[in-house]
Structure 1
Amino acid sequence: MSELQDKINEETIEAYGQAGFERWRNQPYRGEPAGANYEGASTGGCGDTIWIYLQIEEDTVVDAGYATDGCGSSAISGSMAAELAVGKRCEEIAAITGETVLEGLGGPACMPEDDRHCAWLAANALLEAVGSYYRQAAAQAKKD
């Protein structure tokens, strides 16, 4: 069993690099934060879905999390997108793209070419979450 785990770890490091492997293994920002008040999701042609959960207070992301039903690339991309969002004002989130997610992970070589679309799924889920914040704010403004 130990040999099998070592082989999986070696293959993962080869595919994602050491930083990607550590993120895959520890998965920071995994799950929905207790104070999350907005969420977004994006599903790729591969069938993977990434959900991003945001806690937004006074137009600033104070906490974030993610979930995915997909592969390791989806997990590390969701994790990075959530990390990139924390501390940002909502209008800054629009600048976070799939390229930004890949760069945060160490550049395009940080994951197999066939999986790089996961970075865009994560960025799109993040934009959907912020979009839900703006939709709610617009609906509230209409009421007032």
Structure 2
Amino acid sequence: MYTEKILDHFTNPRNLGVLEDADGIGVLGDPGCGDYIKVYIKVTDDHISDIRFQIAGCPAAIACGSAMTELAKGKSIDEAAEICDADILEYLGGLPEEKAHCSNLGAGALQNAIINYLVKALQQQEHVTVI
């Protein structure tokens, strides 16, 4: 049912946890009744220098969250923003059809974290006074 890579990412998720000094945070899902993910990114020189995630979900969702962090870490903001569910599925070697939707969680939450980072950066720029 699951590839060895999926099982590995489920049993040994990469970058799991909270990033206290995150530059951007993105969430997706419903914590009350289903799969839910929260992604934290740290950005240095326009690249994702660190990324963490917290998740409540099935083994496929956990594996997809872990895979997403591996795909995004070290990428530029523009490159990371292009990561989609198909990239996660390909990285993991596919998922059973009934679990393919799990890849949407990681990609969507990553995009939300990037949007959060960009909005914060824009707000900081607007508060800068040029003399």
Same fold (TM over 0.5): yes
User: SS at 2:2's partner residue?
Assistant: helix
| Correspondences of 1:66-81 after superposition (within 5 Å) | 66-81=53-68
- 2:24 corresponds to which of 38, 44, 47: 38
1:33-52: CA deviation from partner (whole Å, max 9, x where unpaired): 354332101116x7211111
Query: Normalising to structure 2: TM-score of the pair?
Result: 0.88
Task: Look at both structures and tell me which one has the larger radius of gyration over its CA atoms.
Answer: 1
Identity rate, percent? 32
Distance in 1, matches of 2:62 and 2:21, equals 21
Unmatched segments (≥5 aa) in structure 2 = none
Moved over 4 A (4+): none
Higher helix share: 1
- What is the number of equivalent residue pairs in this alignment? 126
Distance in 2, matches of 1:121 and 1:19, equals 18
1:65-119: CA deviation from partner (whole Å, max 9, x where unpaired): 111111111101110111111101111112100001111111x3xx221111110
Unmatched segments (≥5 aa) in structure 1 = 1-14
Distance in 2, matches of 1:37 and 1:138, equals 12
CA contact (8 A) 2:25 2:40 kept: yes
| Correspondences of 1:1-144 after superposition (within 5 Å) | 15-43=1-29, 47-106=34-93, 108=94, 111-144=95-128
